[in-house]
Chain A
Amino acid sequence: MNAPEKVLEEFEQIDFLRDRHVRFFQRTLQVLPERYASLETTRLTVMFFAVSGLDVLDALDVIDRNNMIEWIYSLQVLPTEDQSNLSRCGFRGSSHIGIPYSVKGPGVLHPYDSGHVAMTYTGLTSLLILGDDLSRVNKQACLAGLKALQLEDGSFCAVPEGSENDIRFIYCAACICYMLDDWSGMDIQKAIEYIRGSMSYDNGFGQGAGLESHGGWTFCAIASLCLMGRLEEALSQRELDRIRRWCIMRQQSGFHGRPNKPVDTCYSFWVGATLELLDVFQYTNYEKNRNYILSTQDRLVGGFAKWPDSHPDPLHAYLGLCGLSLIGEPNLRKVHPALNITQRAFQHLQQLQQTWRDNAGTCT
């Protein structure tokens, strides 16, 4: 009597609710309630989660790409007339400083206006995803702003005024240089030294030297080295094998970020993508991973949460999708595991870069 009902119930529990997720991201891009105030300075990263999420869902047609592109460009910190603020250029996370809306230069002189490395990174990726050709990005200014953020030990701060410094911002910097096809924005050797120094005794990577190894920082370490094209130069085969082992031990059902911590949907991407970059994601258990991610799906409002029966948020919604994409969930676009954009957006980037190289060749 119960068997067919139970089968149906199980199917319902684990099916992927594509349309709910599309609507979740659409709503994210519109208006968020005041309780999301803490996201103000990082609104551009929230946009990235939603826009890239829609790309993974192959649903970019539901948004007005051109309007969004304009909003992103309004966040660019451009050089002032006298170019005195070059080391502060990049992209802002939002309009919170109060600069009047403008999509073109010259920049406005303001004592506290500057870019933020994670916003420059997500600004560029969002533009790419939306199909923009980056022609209005002041690349030299972005790179100057980036260079100003790197410290002696090779790590990066987020903003020129000063902030904490760690491996997250090395990853942002590596993405920026990779996308702009220009590594003059960072001292690669120093960055590699900092990354190596962040490797823990247990072969994962912490946020910096001596710190506890963690799935998010391990992703930042490995993805950065891959983007730099220095993975096998920076790490020996023995070290890579040890890192593989640390990463693969993170799978419990889904993945957790540290030993003896609970699993969390976002690590299905952070650790999953790292394993993919190290060529061993194929040896993980896809079914258990999928079942966990889907157990955190919010069947009513869409999106994913870190845990089952918890509130979804844009970050977990996006990374949950990416986690599913890694295991080959049908109807999801493939994600570039280092750059964290779809392969489709990545191909657009490659075409753009080819155009830049061709144009550079004809300039002499």
Chain B
Amino acid sequence: KLFLIVIVDSLVHWADLEPVPQDDGPNPVVKIAYSEKFSDVYDYFRALLKKDERSDRAFALTAEAIELNAANYTVWHYRRVLLQALQKDLREEMRYITDIIEEQPKNYQVWHHRRMVVEWLNDPSEELEFIADILSQDAKNYHAWQHRQWVIQEYKLWDNELEFVEKLLEEDVRNNSVWNQRHFVISHTTGYSSPAILDREVQYCLNQIRKAPHNESAWNYLKGILQDRGMSSHPGLLEQVLELKETHCSPYLLAFLVDCYEDALENNNQKETLNRALEVCEYLAQEKDTIRKEYWLFLQRSLESRFGPSAASGEPLADGTEPPAGQQELS
């Protein structure tokens, strides 16, 4: 019965249109074998497109075309043209795009379409809840996080985001997307320049590390917020890390340690510091991160060359910079 309805429908509603088939010429490449139904929808779509017809039947057809291939960006663009030309109800469009994204959350076109509709409505009020729902199904969906950052930044919806971040970190402290969002929120609100905030974040990291030591995301965040703010001069940090080394060791902890020593060496080239750094590299290479053995040995050689005895010769380094003032012996 449905089949007959479709036939009658096309005879009645589309009779004036000459369908336009795809034309790949004599030697098509990567040809997709479409069913008749699929081709029919798109043959009529192409006909409408050619005329740039602005009508309800065109608008209805875009929904059919999208259902068959939601990645066709031309269909979405044409639908947006029609939404505006026909003054369609954008609230209804929000409901429509919500359903489609729930079905196909990893498609670029659907998220772009949603962004356009939100912009036209100038109404982000549904966004945070909607994105939270998508993230509840896949907490690392890149599109969802991207849309979330856009909404927050565009409409200044920063207020509750840190709370959202903390909730998600409680659910999965290893979710790298959430750590990234933490940095996004703080850097755009309070920033990290105040010692109080910086220290709060450092302690937060260390606490999360105590709970889940083998977590690259936490260590990357810790290093990230400190790397240009004096890693080796943050009070008490090195001590805390050395303490954690005994009970909560990981390749990330050890790499962080190397970076601390490197930072210290840049400000004050001490033989003892260099030796510690070289030792940790050796430990990583031979025991704790053997997959990257060659890299840790390379880093070891690089540190030796930059800060070791030969560096005191005053010869410029490979990158053209001067080596730090000659190595100092501990008295």
Q: Which residues of A contact B (CB under 8 A)?
A: 28-34, 36-44, 46-47, 50, 64, 67-68, 70-72, 74, 94-101, 103, 110-112, 116, 158-159, 161-164, 200-203, 206-208, 210-214, 237, 242, 245-246, 248-249, 251-253, 258-261, 280, 282-285, 288
Q: A95-B24, A210-B149, A283-B298 are in contact. List 14 more A-B contacts (CB 8 A).
A: A34-B38, A37-B68, A41-B71, A43-B32, A67-B27, A98-B47, A98-B49, A212-B145, A212-B176, A248-B295, A249-B216, A249-B255, A258-B176, A282-B294
Q: Would you call A112 and B52 a contact (CB within 8 A)?
A: yes
Known contacts A29-B29, A38-B70: A280-B291 contact under CB 8 Å: no
Question: Is B271 interfacial (CB 8 A cutoff)?
Answer: no
Q: How far is the CB of A305 from chain B (nearest CB, A)?
A: 16
Known contacts A161-B77, A212-B177, A249-B216: A47-B29 contact under CB 8 Å: yes
Listed by A's residue number, 18 A-B pairs whose Cβ atoms lie within 8 Å are A29-B29, A32-B33, A37-B34, A38-B70, A38-B71, A41-B72, A41-B73, A70-B27, A71-B27, A72-B29, A98-B47, A101-B23, A163-B108, A210-B184, A246-B220, A260-B176, A280-B298, A283-B297
Q: Which residues of A contact B188 (CB under 8 A)?
A: 210
Q: Would you call A203 and B50 a contact (CB within 8 A)?
A: no
Q: Would you call A68 and B23 a contact (CB within 8 A)?
A: no
Expressed in whole angstroms, the Cα–Cα distance for A251 and B251 within the complex equals: 13
Q: Would you call A96 and B74 a contact (CB within 8 A)?
A: yes
Q: Which residues of B contact A258 (CB under 8 A)?
A: 140, 176-177
Q: Which residue of B lies closest to A288 (CB)?
A: B291
Question: Is B69 interfacial (CB 8 A cutoff)?
Answer: yes
Q: How far is the CB of B64 from chain A (nearest CB, A)?
A: 13
Expressed in whole angstroms, the Cα–Cα distance for A260 and B52 within the complex equals: 47
User: Which 9 pairs show the lowest CB-CB distances between chains A and B?
Assistant: A201-B224, A98-B46, A101-B25, A67-B27, A283-B294, A283-B295, A202-B220, A212-B180, A98-B20
B52, B145, B295: residue with the most chain A Cβ atoms closer than 10 Å: B295
Q: Identify which of residues 210-226 in chain B touch chain A, using a CB-to-CB cut-off of 8 Å.
A: 215-217, 220-221, 223-225
Q: Would you call B25 and A31 a contact (CB within 8 A)?
A: no
Question: Is B247 interfacial (CB 8 A cutoff)?
Answer: no
Q: Would you call A32 and B28 a contact (CB within 8 A)?
A: no
Q: Which residues of A contact B22 (CB under 8 A)?
A: 94-96, 98
Q: Which residue of B lies closest to A74 (CB)?
A: B25
Question: Is B155 interfacial (CB 8 A cutoff)?
Answer: no
Q: Which residues of A contact B34 (CB under 8 A)?
A: 34, 37
Partner of A202, one of B25, B223, B255: B223
Q: How far is the CB of B231 from chain A (nearest CB, A)?
A: 12
Annotate B282-311 by CB proximity to A: 1 below 8 A, 0 otherwise.
Answer: 000000000111110110000000000000
Q: Identify which of residues 50-109 in chain B touch chain A, using a CB-to-CB cut-off of 8 Å.
A: 50, 52, 68-74, 77-78, 107-108
Q: Which residue of A lies closest to B223 (CB)?
A: A202
Q: Which residues of A contact B25 (CB under 8 A)?
A: 70-71, 74, 101, 103
Expressed in whole angstroms, the Cα–Cα distance for A103 and B23 within the complex equals: 12
Known contacts A40-B69, A47-B30: A202-B112 contact under CB 8 Å: no
Q: Which residue of A lies closest to B77 (CB)?
A: A161
Q: Would you call A164 and B23 a contact (CB within 8 A)?
A: no
Q: Which residues of B contact A202 (CB under 8 A)?
A: 180, 220-221, 223-224
Q: Would you call B111 and A164 a contact (CB within 8 A)?
A: yes
Q: Would you call B77 and A201 a contact (CB within 8 A)?
A: no
Q: Which residues of A contact B164 (CB under 8 A)?
A: none
Annotate B227-258 by CB proximity to A: 1 below 8 A, 0 otherwise.
Answer: 10000000000000000000000000001000
Q: Which residue of A lies closest to B37 (CB)?
A: A34
Q: Would you call B27 and A38 a contact (CB within 8 A)?
A: no
Interface of A is mostly: loop
Q: Would you call A98 and B33 a contact (CB within 8 A)?
A: no
Q: Would you call B180 and A110 a contact (CB within 8 A)?
A: no
* A-B interface contact total, Cβ < 8 Å: 196
Q: Which residue of A lies closest to B107 (CB)?
A: A38
Expressed in whole angstroms, the Cα–Cα distance for A101 and B28 within the complex equals: 10
Q: Which residues of B contact A203 (CB under 8 A)?
A: 224
Expressed in whole angstroms, the Cα–Cα distance for A44 and B29 within the complex equals: 8
Question: Is B175 interfacial (CB 8 A cutoff)?
Answer: yes
Expressed in whole angstroms, the Cα–Cα distance for A40 and B187 within the complex equals: 41
Q: Which residues of B contact A253 (CB under 8 A)?
A: 291
Q: Which residues of A contact B215 (CB under 8 A)?
A: 260
Q: Would you call A110 and B74 a contact (CB within 8 A)?
A: no
Q: How far is the CB of A167 from chain B (nearest CB, A)?
A: 12
Q: Which residues of B contact A74 (CB under 8 A)?
A: 24-25
Q: Which residues of B contact A201 (CB under 8 A)?
A: 183, 187, 220-221, 224-225
Known contacts A33-B33, A70-B25: A261-B69 contact under CB 8 Å: no
Q: Which residues of A contact B175 (CB under 8 A)?
A: 260
Q: How far is the CB of B54 from chain A (nearest CB, A)?
A: 11
Q: Would you call B50 and A110 a contact (CB within 8 A)?
A: yes
Q: Which residues of A contact B68 (CB under 8 A)?
A: 37
Q: Identify which of residues 169-225 in chain B touch chain A, using a CB-to-CB cut-off of 8 Å.
A: 174-177, 180, 183-184, 187-188, 215-217, 220-221, 223-225
Partner of A43, one of B30, B70, B174, B319: B30
Question: Is B21 interfacial (CB 8 A cutoff)?
Answer: yes
Partner of B27, one of A64, A96, A158, A249: A64
Known contacts A260-B175, A260-B215: A214-B142 contact under CB 8 Å: yes
Q: Which residues of A contact B32 (CB under 8 A)?
A: 31-34, 36-37, 39-40, 43
Q: Would you call A259 and B74 a contact (CB within 8 A)?
A: no
Q: Would you call B35 and A34 a contact (CB within 8 A)?
A: yes
Expressed in whole angstroms, the Cα–Cα distance for A30 and B28 within the complex equals: 8
A31, A33, A164: residue with the most chain B Cβ atoms closer than 10 Å: A164
Q: How far is the CB of A125 from chain B (nearest CB, A)?
A: 14
Q: Would you call A213 and B23 a contact (CB within 8 A)?
A: no
Q: Which residue of B lies closest to A92 (CB)?
A: B74
Q: Which residues of A contact B33 (CB under 8 A)?
A: 31-34
Question: Is B261 interfacial (CB 8 A cutoff)?
Answer: no
Q: Which residues of B contact A111 (CB under 8 A)?
A: 49-50, 52
Annotate B1-44 by CB proximity to A: 1 below 8 A, 0 otherwise.
Answer: 00000000000000000001111111111111111001000100
Q: Which residue of A lies closest to B291 (CB)?
A: A285
Expressed in whole angstroms, the Cα–Cα distance for A30 and B33 within the complex equals: 10
